[in-house]
Amino acid sequence: MINIEDLTVKYGEEKAIDNLSLFIEKGKSYAIIGKSGCGKTTLLYTIAGLISNYEGKLEIGGETSLILQNLGLFNWFTVYKNIELGLNSFKISKEEKKVKVDSILKELGLYDLKDKYPGELSGGQKQRVAIGRTIISNPEILLLDEATSALDSINKEKIQDLLLDIRSKRNNTMILVTHNIEEAVFLGEYIIVMKDGKIDSIINNKYFGDKNIRKKQEYFQVCNEVRGKLYD
């Protein structure tokens, strides 16, 4: 659960978030969409605890973890070590860590790549490493900042499928920021349209969770509804 009341975040004189209130239910998935500069990334960073200079109320019930737009992988560590770093603040033994890392590596199809360095991986593989590093600590709230924006459309859909799988398996709360309408509709149970630091509208996506939705007519209907709100 996340409760945001009258949140304002300023960069100098400019308001990035303007008196915003939002309630996020536990175990649900939210996609925040809007034009660049609408404050969506600032909102996500504030929830992630990376911005402490805000006004208003912010209650966060549970651990958060964030996947960054440019991933922030450590090029000098192997895939294995990068994922293990997700457990950095955990006080558990090396053996316990190994069990967890191995299971994540297998789940994400990265086991054969565990001794490679990020520089040797493809975009989609790097993305999976970043996801692995984030989900290994099993955070209650998973935050994603434009997580698939650097990928080509085929890899984009593969990663979206993976994210949907992860969420339905673990049932964690997911908040993702995107500028891609199709991604918002595929991954968001609620689609939050932001404009000028405020929430413009919230669309309830009743088709959420259907892995084959991309081929269906209803998908385009929801996409068009979002499009309508965005360009309003």
Binding site for another protein (CB under 8 A): 48, 50, 65-66, 68-77, 85-86, 88-89, 117-119, 133
State which amino acid sits at residue 165: D
- For another protein, give the closer residue by CB, 111 or 117: 117
DSSP state of 140: S
Q: How far is the CB of 85 from another protein (least distance, A)?
A: 6
Nearer to another protein, 66 or 151 (CB): 66
Phi, psi for residue 185 in degrees, rounded to 5:
-75, -35
d(CA 32, CA 43): 9
Shortest distance in whole angstroms from residue 82 CB to another protein: 10
Using CA atoms, how far apart are residues 175 and 129, in angstroms rounded to an integer? 19
Based on CB atoms, which residue is closest to another protein, 110 or 226?
110
Q: Are 30 and 177 in contact (CB under 8 A)?
A: no
Question: Which single residue is written with the structure tokens 């500069």?
Answer: 37
Least CB distance from residue 48 to another protein, whole Å? Answer: 7
- DSSP label of 189: S
Closest to another protein by CB, 84 vs 189, is 84
Q: State the minimum distance, in angstroms, from the CB of residue 71 to another protein.
A: 7
**Residue 158 vs residues 127, 131, 161, 179, 188: alpha-carbon distances, Å:** 11, 13, 5, 18, 16
| Shortest separation between residue 211's beta carbon and another protein, angstroms | 29
Q: Pick between residue 53 and residue 89 the one whose CB is nearest to another protein.
A: 89
CA separation, residue 189 to residues 47, 175, 201, 204, 228 (Å): 19, 10, 14, 6, 18
* Shortest separation between residue 10's beta carbon and another protein, angstroms: 20
Nearer to another protein, 101 or 230 (CB): 101
